[in-house]
Structure 1
Amino acid sequence: MNRPLLLLDVDGVLNPYGTAQPPAGYTEHRLFPGEEPVRVNPTHGGWITEASAVLDIAWATSWNDEANRLLAPLLGIAPLPVITMPPAPFHPSDKIPVIAAYAQRRPAAWIDDLHTPQAHSWAAARSSPTLLITADPTIGLSRNSIDDVMTWARALCDARPAYLAERPAVANPPATHPALTHSGRRQRGHTWPSLMPGTGSAVHTQPSLGQAPASAIDTQPSLTPGTQAASTPAPGTAG
């Protein structure tokens, strides 16, 4: 049995676009001529490396191979597997079929700044444990979210040691939306209407700074899909 997956978006998660100025800890980089700069926090590289000890991490972003070519060196991480997204621009729900095909029956956590109702339905219907964490695009990836994902993955591994039996943990496994603009930030992959939050999936929203984090184990106490938690996607945005 393979280890749990962590499917990681870029824009709105590793590149918070929702504010006029970069949040603390981020530096802007001109990676794409003629487009808005990309905001990068090098601390995220250490968090990704830490999470890779208990999860197999893959890019789930319309950056596609550009995430490894341009972003991974700035984060100081090794290249990650890429879940190839459709040609841009596309609706955020178009991520679901390719993510589903990649995850198959493996336990999967997915961090994105916009999980559509269809994403919630997919998570709730899966037979494998599934965790959706919706990032705030004004803040980006938080330490609470990484801690929640690792706690969730460790609980799965403790409950089913076979998850690790065939694949030892490694420090660096071979570990959005890139053509529209929202709030002056670069959005390279999606077209998206105003979307109402979905319900019925195993999902929690990343807390704002200073807010108590939601526990990943609380959202899925029995480590089975279909458990409940609140989700508040940023209206009309995706990352």
Structure 2
Amino acid sequence: MTGSGQLPLLFLDVDGPLIPFGAPADQYPIYRSRLDLPAIGSNPLLARVNPGHGLRLSALPCELVWATTWTSDANECLSPRLGLPPLPVVDWPEPSDLDEQDARDGLHWKTRTLVNWAARRPFAWVDDEITDIDRHWVHTCHAAPALLHRVDPRQGITEADYTTLGEWLHRV
């Protein structure tokens, strides 16, 4: 627990961490689910989501938050598949001139919003696009502990990633 009595946040991206991509398609296991009934606009890549991630994520000492362009669709499409309740969702602001400057400086477009959303709470952020520029900016601009953990999008979240997250969250 943090000093404020609140659990740290865990900001979770979808594409890359939960839906691996970038390797040959036959490399990925397919997880069938009762949720795979034909649906208009369904995403065939959802079958790459390992439902076991739900138990692993819910066992971490943190408050899970969707930090993805899937926005509220993550609760409709992924939470049931993972056996998770609906999670808070980061709402992304409209792009601004500041975002363009951040992009020119190499800062990920999510970074500033996540720090603001955390509001001085400790947080971990799991994404496949995190860089050292983001880590430095968060270290400089966020008053609480933060772990920016990059996941290889070809593999998604692995046992090693869960170990890193669990150890950091327990220390915080």
Q: TM over 0.5: same fold?
A: yes
Tell me if 1:106 matches 2:83: no
The correspondence for 2:55, drawn from 46, 69, 78, is: 46
Q: Relative to 1, partners in 2 of residues 1:35 and 1:87: Cα closer, same or farther, differing over 3 Å?
A: farther
**TM-score, normalised with respect to structure 1:** 0.57
CA contact (8 A) 1:83 1:102 kept: yes
CA offset at residue 7 of structure 1? 0.7
Q: Relative to 1, partners in 2 of residues 1:151 and 1:128: Cα closer, same or farther, differing over 3 Å?
A: same
Distance 1:139 1:74 in 2: 19
2:7 matched residue in structure 1: 3
- Identity level (%): 33
CA contact (8 A) 1:8 1:58 kept: yes
CA contact (8 A) 1:23 1:139 kept: no
Q: Relative to 1, partners in 2 of residues 1:138 and 1:93: Cα closer, same or farther, differing over 3 Å?
A: same
Q: Relative to 1, partners in 2 of residues 1:34 and 1:43: Cα closer, same or farther, differing over 3 Å?
A: closer
Unaligned 5+ segments in structure 1 are 157-239
Instruction: Show CA shifts across 1:70-90 (max 9, x none).
Output: 1111111111110112469x9
Q: Relative to 1, partners in 2 of residues 1:25 and 1:36: Cα closer, same or farther, differing over 3 Å?
A: closer
Q: Relative to 1, partners in 2 of residues 1:34 and 1:41: Cα closer, same or farther, differing over 3 Å?
A: closer
Distance 1:150 1:43 in 2: 16
Unaligned 5+ segments in structure 2 are none
1:142 matched residue in structure 2: 158
Counterpart residue type for residue 147 of structure 1: T
Instruction: Show CA shifts across 1:149-196 (max 9, x none).
Output: 12111122xxxxxxxxxxxxxxxxxxxxxxxxxxxxxxxxxxxxxxxx
CA offset at residue 123 of structure 1? 2.3
* RMSD between aligned residues: 2.6
More helix by share: 2
